[in-house]
Structure 1
């Protein structure tokens, strides 16, 4: 079994830099509820938006 890799992810575009923790927090705030078990985030820098899917069911978006 492979060892777990600690990774840092940061999206940089224009004059902005957003890390994975910030994206997760922004998505949870946009969703507004606490029952998040699964969270998928799709970032579209050219639109300055991120789209999310919570619990494989609820979708939404937020501005970056």
Structure 2
């Protein structure tokens, strides 16, 4: 007498025999194709990960390089600005007399330090008002102290 498991095995064998061989071959090919596509997808994922890591490395390298080069670029720019500074001399001429601007400024500094008993380093700004007909330079130092100097 046949047992239940033997009967099931015989039925399974009959069902297997009924599947055509070409269908089985197609199923095997499809399984191989799926395996190949899975491996290809995994390879692409690995490539994307490696590419992303390489991009990050390049970004960091570029960032470090620009940080190092940026200060070097700024320094020459400052030097070139200083080289382009124009020297200016100003003269006031009136009735046969001539006075240079730097001489007027020196006289104002001397008078201001003498009158106020302060140092030249305390001067932040000077406004000069030149009146050739009076032969005088009127000044305002630091916006508050006023006076005049004859030239």
Same fold (TM over 0.5): yes
User: Does 1 or 2 have the higher relative contact order (CA < 8 Å, sep 6+)?
Assistant: 1
List aligned pairs for 1:1-64, cutoff 5 A: 4-32=85-113, 33-34=118-119, 35-64=122-151
Q: Secondary structure at the match of 1:46?
A: coil
Instruction: Please identify which structure carries the higher strand content.
Output: 1
1:15: how far off?
2.9
User: TM-score, with normalisation over the residues of structure 2?
Assistant: 0.38
Dislocated runs of 4+, deviation >6 Å: none
- Give the number of the structure whose alpha-carbon radius of gyration is greater: 2
Give the alignment's Cα RMSD to 1 decimal.
1.6
Unaligned runs of 5+ in 1: none
